[in-house]
Amino acid sequence: GNSVTQMEGPVTLSEEAFLTINCTYTATGYPSLFWYVQYPGEGLQLLLKATKADDKGSNKGFEATYRKETTSFHLEKGSVQVSDSAVYFCALSDSYNQFYFGTGTSLTVIP
């Protein structure tokens, strides 16, 4: 079956630090991979995505590369800001029907 495992939090970083949030997946087919983010008081929103192996998704300084050989989609950012404080969810989908989400990683960036 399909599933996503992501790094547990919470994660606390100082501003301008380097961020990595690990995500690995199990899938029976060839899924698309996503990172969704939930800012305080808001709904989940798409941060970035990759639809096939070796694709790199990027947005707002965040990047993640679809690695089929390691079944991973780790989220990275070179220099985090206070405004990046949020909960980050890794997800996969192989159809319109279902998305499989990880448990979420809470990030707090302190000035």
Partner 1 sequence: GAGVSQTPSNKVTEKGKYVELRCDPISGHTALYWYRQSLGQGPEFLIYFQGTGAADDSGLPNDRFFAVRPEGSVSTLKIQRTERGDSAVYLCASSSTDTGFTGELFFGEGSRLTVL
- Per-residue interface string for the shown chain with partner 1, residues 47-66, x marking contact by CB under 8 A: --x-x---------------
Q: Which stretch binds partner 1 (CB under 8 A): 17-25, 29-37, 63-71, 76-84?
A: 29-37
- Nearest to partner 1 of 20, 103 (CB atom): 103
By CB atoms closer than 10 A (0-12, 13-18, 19+), residue 29 is exposed
Q: How far is CA 103 from CA 16, 28, 36, 106, in A?
A: 25, 20, 12, 10
Q: Distance (Å, rounded) from C-alpha 87 to C-alpha 96? A: 24
- Nearest to partner 1 of 14, 52 (CB atom): 52
How long is the chain? 111
Within 67-96, the residues that bind partner 1 by CB under 8 A are: 89, 91, 93, 95-96
- Residue 1 token pair: 């079956």
- The contact set with partner 1 (CB under 8 A) reads 4, 32, 34, 36, 41-46, 49, 51, 89, 91, 93, 95-104
